[in-house]
Amino acid sequence: MGVEALKKTENGTEHLVVISYDAFSEDNWEAASRLPNLAELINNGAYTTKLKSVYPTLTYVAHTTMVTGVNADKHGVLHNNPLQPFIPEEDQNWFWFRRDVKVPTIYDAAGKSGMKTAAILWPVTGKAAIKYNIPEIKAVRKENQALKVLKNGSPLFTLGMEMRFGKYRKGTQQPYLDDFTSRCASDTIRRRKPGLLMLHFIELDDAKHRFGTDSPEVGQAIMHMDRRIGEIMAAVREAGILKDTTFIVLGDHGQINTVYLVRLNKLFKEEGLIEDKGGSFEWRAYLQSAGGSAYLHIRQGDADAEKKALAVLEKCKEDDRYGIERLYSGADLRKQRIHPSVRYMLEAKAGYCFDDELEGPVIEAPDDHGQKRANHGYHPDKPDYRCALIVSGERIEKGPIPGEVDMTDIAPTMARILRLPFDHTDGRPLEEIFRN
C-alpha cells in the first residue's frame, strides 16, 4: 500500500456500529432529528436525507446491497421472498441465508481480517460466518422458532442472549422485539467489543405498514427508537471505546400511504393463465407483488402466455383504476439493475400497491373505518421517498453530505471506516465525509 493509500486509511476506526432503522426516510427527519440521541449523532457527524435505495425498495434487497455494495442483479437477493405462488405470505420462506448472497460481504471481509463481528436480527445472515450472530429468521409451517434461530445463528451466543433478555420479548410484537434487539446489542458491545456490529430495528416499518406514515404510532416508534439509540451509545461509552467507534444509522426505504390494493392475478385467472385444478392452482403467468411494484413471471417457453399476460397488463395500464404507472421490460429494466431472471416489472402509482392473492376484489378500496396503511417496494425516485443516513464519530466531518448518496455506497464506506480492502462494488466510499 502506497503513502497516499495509507493517508486515506489512517483516520478510520477500530469499531463500527451499523444501526438499520427500517423505513427511516426523509419524511421522518424533522421529528427524529429533534430527539436527543439522534441529534447528538447528527451534531457529531455527516448526514443526508437523500440516500437512494434499491429497486424494488424491499428490506432484504436493500440490506443485502448495504453489506455488498452491489445491486440485486449481482448479489442475487431480488425480493424478500423467493417465488412461491399461491402460498400464503405468513407461510412463505424468505431469503434468510448467507448462501442466497452471491458476492462477498463486508462482514466476510471483516472476519477474514481477524475482526470480531456481530449481527442482531440482520437480514440474510442465516449460517453466515459472523462470530456473534442472531439472524433474522422465522419459523414457518410448524417449525420451531427457537430451534431454527439456534441452528442458523451462533448457538451459545443466542442462548446467552435468550437467557438474559428473552423475558423482554413477546414474539414479534413491538416495541418488545426491538427492545430485545437493543438489549442484546448493548450487552454485546459491553462484553465482546466487536469491531463490526450490525443490528436491525423494525418498529417504525411495522407502524407505517399498519397505521400509515403520519400516524401517532409512527411518532411513538420514532421516540422509542431514539431511546434505543441512546442505550447503544451508552454501551459504547461504558465499554470505553467511544473515541474509536463510528456509528452509521440509516434507513433502507421509505413508505407511501396506500389507498387501493390491486390483485391483477385475478385477471390472469379470468384469462385462463391461472387455473384451479381441484383445489390446487397452476400458473402460466403470475405476478409476484413487491408492494409498490411487481414482477411478471412467465412459464419458460410459453410464448402464448407471455402475449396474453402482456395484453392484460397493457389494457390495465390504460385504465387509471388499476394504478399502473409503468411497465418495464428489456433495456429499461436492465437500467434499473433488476435481477436478470426478471423480464417484466410493474410500477404502481403512489396510493396503489399490488397483492398476489386470488381472494377478494381485483381493486380493494379503503375500509369503512378509513384505516390508513402504507407500503414500500416503489421505485426509489418517487417524490419524498429517499432514506436518511447519519455517519458519526470523531474522525467524521460534521455537516450535510453534498449531492446524492446511493445504497451501494454504504459497504465501501464501511470498509473505508474499518480499513478493510473491499473492491468490486457498484458504489464508492464517501471520501468527502472523512477528516483529512
Q: Which residue segments constitute the domains of the chain, with CATH numbers given?
A: 3-255+383-433 (3.40.720.10), 260-365 (3.30.1360)
Residue 199 has phi, psi (to 5 degrees) of -140, 155
pLDDT band at 2 (very low <50, low <70, confident <90, very high): very low
Per-residue model confidence as pLDDT tens digits over 311-327: 999 999 999 999 999 99
80-84 mean pLDDT: 97
What distance lies between CA 65 and its chain's CA centroid? 9
- The band of 10, judged by pLDDT with boundaries at 50, 70 and 90, is low
pLDDT: is 180 or 366 the higher one?
180
Task: With a cut of 70, say whether residue 114 has pLDDT above it.
Answer: yes
Position 124 pLDDT exceeds 60: yes
pLDDT tens-digit profile of 213-242?
999 999 999 999 999 999 999 999 999 999
- How far is the C-alpha of 391 from the C-alpha of 217, rounded, in Å? 27
Which positions ≥6 away from 321 have C-beta within 8 Å?
A: 363
Of 201, 107, 100, 113, nearest to 154 by C-alpha is 107
Burial of 246 (0-12, 13-18, 19+ CB in 10 A): buried
Lookup: cell for 261: 390494493
Position 156 confidence tier, pLDDT thresholds 50, 70, 90 = very high
Reported as a single tens digit per residue, the pLDDT across 363-404 is 998 664 566 799 999 999 999 999 999 999 999 999 999 999
pLDDT (tens digit per residue) in 247-299: 999 999 999 999 899 999 999 999 999 999 888 899 999 999 999 999 999 99
What percent of the chain stands above pLDDT 90?
A: 89
Number of helices (H) and strands (E) in the chain: give both, helices first: 15, 20
As given in the structure block, the three cell numbers for residue 351 are: 396510493
Residue-level pLDDT at 357: 93
Q: How confident is the model at residue 13 (pLDDT cuts 50, 70, 90)?
A: confident
pLDDT more than 70, % of the chain: 96
Task: Enter the pTM of the model.
Answer: 0.95
pLDDT at 370: 64
Q: Using alpha carbons only, what angle is made at residue 132 by residues 17 and 110, rounded to the nearest 5 degrees? A: 60
Between 365 and 19, whose confidence is greater? Answer: 19
How confident is the model at residue 5, as a pLDDT?
A: 43
Average pLDDT over residues 99-119: 98
Sign of the alpha-carbon torsion through 333, 336, 338, 340: positive
Ramachandran angles phi, psi of 67, nearest 5°:
-95, -5
The per-residue pLDDT for 365 is 83
> Is the per-residue pLDDT at 7 higher than 50?
no
Where would I find the H helices in 239-340?
265-270, 303-317, 330-335
Cα gap 48→343, rounded to integer Å: 34
**Residue 150 and residue 126: Cα distance in Å, rounded?**
10
Average pLDDT over residues 416-433: 96
Query: What is the per-residue pLDDT for 277?
Result: 87
What was the pLDDT predicted at 369?
Answer: 54
Decide if pLDDT at 6 tops 90. no
pLDDT of residue 279: 80
Tell me the pLDDT of the chain averaged across its residues.
94
The whole-number average pLDDT for the span 82-111 is: 96
d(CA 56, CA 80) in angstroms, rounded, equals 10
